[in-house]
């Protein structure tokens, strides 16, 4: 009811829900069919259309669109008209080529005259299948790729249409989720949010919930039972931000400083750290994060933080081509950077970094928003492999944690000049 009511004043709505709570049939599809029919119950608190509408309903694959969405809308193949769309209001359907018994478009008689049109789509069709036409209502059931989400926002803009997202966030703090929850905090969602847990529905008793809980991998339990985004198969650094973030302060001059650098044409990232030797704590205090720029641009930004600070760099930079195949490492050295190749043992470096983070031996200025964005997304996939996307500052941090202390130093004091006085003979 809360989700329905939010549609009265908001174009976009997000429902992050546990599995098995009825989000597809009882929320998304139910509302979409009401709009198609143009008939609303007396208690309806949400948006109302007074004309036939154009609707897209999309799922992850053609198979799920057929087996889940189509069946809930129309009923089984041999019993059309027994789903959410009443048989008397079902005008006709058109077939989907390549999938036996699958439907592409459903035409529904509208109470306002004419027919509403429901088109079933899938994310595997790609972004191009979501281009072009304006839509009044779009339901994205299960999490869409970011490019498809963006297209759907465009398709409903000129119609002041309805865009509903209903999914269990199994992919964690993905690009799509972060586009709506940019700070990674559910309290700061930039679209209206409703969450549904197992405890919110009457049809799951304690026995059923326990059986489901026991069958779910630990890293997915919050997502599947509460709709809370988790980091896929597991955060690489499962340490709450509140434990590592601190307010910015002026770095004491006697603390050694260094930086870690990860280079590439699409993204070059640099993270600066200062060591509190008394507590053996690294404070990450500055970042450089830029793509598609020449080495001279990055080198200038690095020198601007202090040309006396030495750094460690991804050893793969030796001989890696950037646009025209230049030797990056030597190029950066020629541009005035004092660089040493870092130890690039990935798992050992991750362990060292994690140990510092979990023991309070690495802190991060809250001003480092690019670093924090990557930290929230840094995860392993279902097979335990690191997801190699948006991880440039994470790599630079690993280089700094492993190899940075060997090159870190304090700024040399400026030379003091004394006036020359001629001594008497």
Domain extents for the chain? 2-226, 241-406
Q: Which residues pair with 362 in a beta bridge?
A: 282
What is the Cα–Cα distance from 188 to 425, expressed in whole angstroms? 79
CATH number of 2-226: 3.40.50.300
Share of the chain above pLDDT 90, in %: 72
Q: What is the mean pLDDT of the chain?
A: 90
Euclidean distance between CA atoms 308 and 298, whole angstroms:
16
In the chain, the percentage of residues whose pLDDT exceeds 70 is 92
Topology of domain 241-406, per CATH? Answer: Nucleotidyltransferase; domain 5 (3.30.420)
Mean pLDDT of 156-175: 90
More confident of the two residues 225 and 5: 5
Residue 387: per-residue pLDDT: 84
User: What is the greatest pairwise CA distance in the chain?
Assistant: 120
Domains 2-226 and 241-406 agree in fold: no
CA–CA gap between residue 378 and residue 336 (Å, rounded) = 32
Q: Which helix (H) or strand (E) holds 122?
A: strand 115-122
Instruction: List the one residue out of 170, 179, 200 whose CA is nearest residue 27.
Output: 200
> What pLDDT, on a 0 to 100 scale, did the predictor assign at position 242?
83
Phi, psi values for residue 193, rounded to 5° = -125, 135
**Residue recorded with tokens 């080529």:** 97
Burial of 209: CB neighbours in 10 Å, binned 0-12, 13-18, 19+: middle
Strand partners, 108: 90, 116
Of 268-282, 382-396, 400-414, the least confident: 382-396
Query: What does the block give as tokens for 352?
Result: 């060292």
| 163, two tokens | 């865009």
Residue 274's pLDDT is 98
Say whether pLDDT at 121 is over 60. Answer: yes
- Distance CA(289)–CA(392), nearest Å, equals 9
pLDDT recorded at residue 207: 92
Going from the C-alpha of 81 to that of each of 73, 78, 84, 112, 323, the distances in angstroms are: 8, 10, 8, 20, 59
């Amino acid at each position: 009811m809360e989700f329905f009511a939010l549609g009265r004043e908001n174009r976009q709505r997000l429902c992050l829900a546990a599995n098995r709570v009825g989000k597809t049939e009882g929320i998304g599809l139910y509302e979409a069919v009401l709009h198609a029919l143009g008939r609303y119950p007396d208690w309806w608190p949400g948006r109302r259309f007074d004309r036939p509408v154009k609707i897209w309903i999309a799922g992850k694959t053609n198979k799920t669109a057929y087996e889940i969405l189509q069946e809930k809308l129309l009923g089984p193949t041999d019993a059309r008209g027994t789903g959410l769309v009443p048989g008397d209001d079902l005008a006709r359907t058109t077939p989907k080529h390549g999938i036996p018994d699958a439907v592409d478009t459903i035409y529904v008689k509208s109470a306002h005259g004419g027919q509403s049109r429901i088109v079933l789509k899938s994310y595997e069709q790609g972004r191009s299948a979501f281009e072009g036409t304006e839509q009044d209502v779009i339901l994205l059931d299960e999490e869409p790729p970011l490019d498809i989400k963006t297209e759907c926002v465009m398709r409903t803009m000129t119609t002041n249409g309805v865009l509903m997202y209903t999914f269990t966030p199994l992919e964690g703090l993905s690009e799509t989720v972060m586009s709506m929850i940019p700070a990674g905090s559910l309290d700061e969602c930039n679209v209206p949010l409703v969450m549904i847990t197992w405890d919110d529905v009457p049809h799951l008793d304690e026995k059923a919930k326990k059986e489901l809980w026991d069958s779910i991998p630990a890293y997915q339990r919050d997502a599947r039972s509460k709709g809370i985004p988790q980091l896929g198969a597991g955060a690489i650094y499962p340490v709450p931000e509140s434990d590592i973030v601190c307010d910015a302060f002026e770095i004491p001059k006697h603390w050694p400083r260094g930086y870690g650098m990860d280079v590439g044409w699409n993204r070059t990232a640099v993270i600066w750290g200062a060591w509190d030797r008394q507590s053996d704590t690294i404070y990450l205090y500055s970042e450089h994060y830029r793509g598609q720029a020449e080495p001279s641009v990055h080198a200038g930004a690095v020198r601007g933080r202090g040309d006396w600070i030495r750094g460690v760099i991804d050893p793969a930079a030796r001989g890696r081509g950037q646009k025209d195949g230049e030797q990056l490492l030597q190029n950066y050295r020629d541009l005035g950077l004092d660089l040493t190749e870092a130890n690039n043992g990935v798992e050992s470096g991750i362990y060292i970094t994690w140990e510092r983070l979990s023991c309070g031996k690495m802190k991060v200025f809250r001003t480092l928003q690019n670093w924090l964005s990557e930290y929230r997304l840094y995860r392993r996939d279902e097979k335990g492999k690191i997801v190699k996307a948006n991880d440039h500052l994470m790599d630079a941090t690993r280089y700094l944690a492993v190899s940075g202390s060997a090159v870190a130093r304090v700024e040399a004091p400026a030379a003091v000049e004394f006036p020359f006085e001629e001594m008497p003979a």
